[in-house]
């Protein structure tokens, strides 16, 4: 690929594609919510007694938050799967909300003046005075001082975890049969995206790629990441919206209302 083509790809990936990503994702969620809300609303029978309501709303909320943060129910069923999936999600959070990603998110939201090396055209926040406020209150999950030295480790874990999940899925006949194409697509996106991300981080520590190579790698990484985001509303990645947890809240509320 020629240098100018790589530069164009780079600009398109980080300056224009994000708008498409946001639009597709938003429309996808709208489609999903419409599908849900247009379903018949007659009573869904629940054939089990609601768990004894917690003594307080605070306790219920706390349990809910702990379940969501620690994946306690996964641990109960399979500690091995818990180890892989919890560490993977933890790594994902640390990767996505620290270092260059954190800066890129703030920049794309119009909350930063200085562009990270990847970015080009800034999005301007309609009310500039809010910029400083948001910058102050959206700190990275990991301070910059330890973000860089641990980046390779996090990247490696984030490559290995989806790989383990993929192998688990391929080895178990029942899991293989219940998996759809989109599940494999998502796992492959995660593995390839994180491999590229780790290579970029390595290059930042000890440069070994020419500038064009680095731009190409970053563009591919950006495309894969945005493809993943666009896929959320259309695939089982929608599990990010915890349907079960929302139901739990609904049943708790119904229980209180009936008392």
Partner 1 sequence: MTSRGASAKPSLSLRKMQRVYVDTCPRCGLCVPSCPAYELTSDYRLAPSYKVKLVKAIEAPSIMGRLLGLRRAVDVEALATATYSCALCGRCEEACPFGIDTVSLWLGLRESLHSAGLNPEPLKGLEEQLLKSGNPYGAPPSMRIYWPELFGLDEALRRAAGRRADTALFMGCTPALRSAAQEILAAAVTILERVREGWTTLGDQEWCCGYPLLLLGNREEAERCLSRNVELLLSLGAKRLVTVCPSCYKMFKIVYEELKGAPPPLQVMHVTQLLAEYLIKLRLEVPRKLSVRVAYHDPCDLARASRIVEEPRLVIREVAQELVELPRSGLRTSCCGGGGLLQASNNSLRLKIARRRLEEALSVKADVLASACPACKSTFIEAAREGGLEVEVLDVAELVARAVGLSR
223 Cβ partners below 8 Å, 6+ apart? Answer: 13, 17
65 token code pair = 């938050």
Q: In whole angstroms, how close is the CB of 157 to partner 1 at the nearest point?
A: 19
The answer to whether 152 touches 201, Cβ cutoff 8 Å, is yes
Contact stretch for partner 1 (CB under 8 A) within 122-130, 131-139, 140-148, 179-187: 179-187
169: contact with partner 1 by CB under 8 A: yes
79: contact with partner 1 by CB under 8 A: no
Contact stretch for partner 1 (CB under 8 A) within 54-62, 127-135, 154-162, 236-244: 236-244
Single out the residue of 7, 54, 212, 235 in contact with partner 1 (rule: CB under 8 A).
Answer: 235
How many residues touch partner 1 under the rule CB under 8 A: the total is 52
Burial of 116 (0-12, 13-18, 19+ CB in 10 A): middle
48: contact with partner 1 by CB under 8 A: yes
Q: Determine the longest span between alpha carbons in the chain, in angstroms.
A: 70
User: Taking the alpha carbons of 12, 14, 15, 17 in that order, is the dihedral positive or negative?
Assistant: positive
136: contact with partner 1 by CB under 8 A: no
Q: Which is nearer to partner 1, 148 or 169 (CB)?
A: 169
Contact stretch for partner 1 (CB under 8 A) within 14-22, 104-112, 120-128, 172-180: 172-180
Single out the residue of 89, 105, 148, 248 in contact with partner 1 (rule: CB under 8 A).
Answer: 248
71: contact with partner 1 by CB under 8 A: yes
4: contact with partner 1 by CB under 8 A: no
Q: In whole angstroms, how close is the CB of 254 to partner 1 at the nearest point?
A: 10
Rounded distance between C-alpha atoms, residue 138 and residue 111, angstroms: 10
Single out the residue of 2, 4, 43, 127 in contact with partner 1 (rule: CB under 8 A).
Answer: 43
89: contact with partner 1 by CB under 8 A: no
Q: What angle do CA 204, 189, 218 make, to 5 degrees?
A: 25
Residues counted in the chain: 259
Rounded distance between C-alpha atoms, residue 51 and residue 57, angstroms: 14
Single out the residue of 47, 127, 136, 145 in contact with partner 1 (rule: CB under 8 A).
Answer: 47
181: contact with partner 1 by CB under 8 A: yes
Rounded distance between C-alpha atoms, residue 171 and residue 82, angstroms: 18
C-alpha distances in Å from residue 17, one per residue of 11, 45, 60, 76, 254: 9, 44, 41, 41, 43
Contact set with partner 1 (CB under 8 A) = 32, 35-37, 39-49, 51-52, 71, 73-74, 77-78, 81, 85, 169, 172-175, 177-183, 185, 234-239, 241-248, 258
């Amino acid at each position: 690929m020629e240098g100018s083509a790589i530069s164009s790809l780079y600009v398109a990936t980080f300056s224009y594609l994000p708008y498409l990503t946001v639009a597709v994702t938003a429309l996808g969620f709208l489609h999903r919510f419409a599908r849900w809300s247009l379903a018949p609303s007659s009573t869904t029978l629940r054939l089990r007694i609601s768990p004894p309501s917690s003594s307080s709303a605070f306790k219920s909320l706390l349990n809910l938050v702990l379940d969501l943060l620690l994946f306690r129910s996964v641990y109960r069923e399979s500690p091995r799967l818990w180890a892989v999936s919890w560490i993977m999600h933890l790594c994902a959070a640390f990767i996505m909300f620290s270092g260059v990603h954190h800066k890129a998110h703030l920049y794309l939201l119009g909350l930063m003046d200085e562009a990270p090396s990847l970015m080009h055209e800034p999005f301007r926040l309609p009310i500039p005075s809010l910029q400083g406020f948001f910058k102050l209150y959206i700190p990275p999950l990991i301070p910059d001082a330890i973000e860089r030295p641990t980046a390779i480790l996090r990247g490696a874990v984030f490559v290995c975890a989806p790989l383990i999940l993929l192998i688990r899925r391929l080895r178990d006949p029942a899991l293989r049969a219940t998996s759809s194409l989109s599940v494999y697509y998502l796992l492959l996106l995660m593995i390839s995206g994180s491999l590229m991300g780790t290579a970029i981080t390595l290059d930042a520590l000890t440069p070994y790629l020419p500038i064009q190579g680095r731009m190409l790698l970053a563009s591919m990484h950006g495309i894969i990441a945005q493809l993943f985001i666009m896929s959320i509303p259309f695939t089982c990645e929608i599990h990010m919206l915890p349907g079960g947890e929302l139901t739990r809240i609904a049943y708790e509320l119904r229980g209180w209302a009936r008392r």
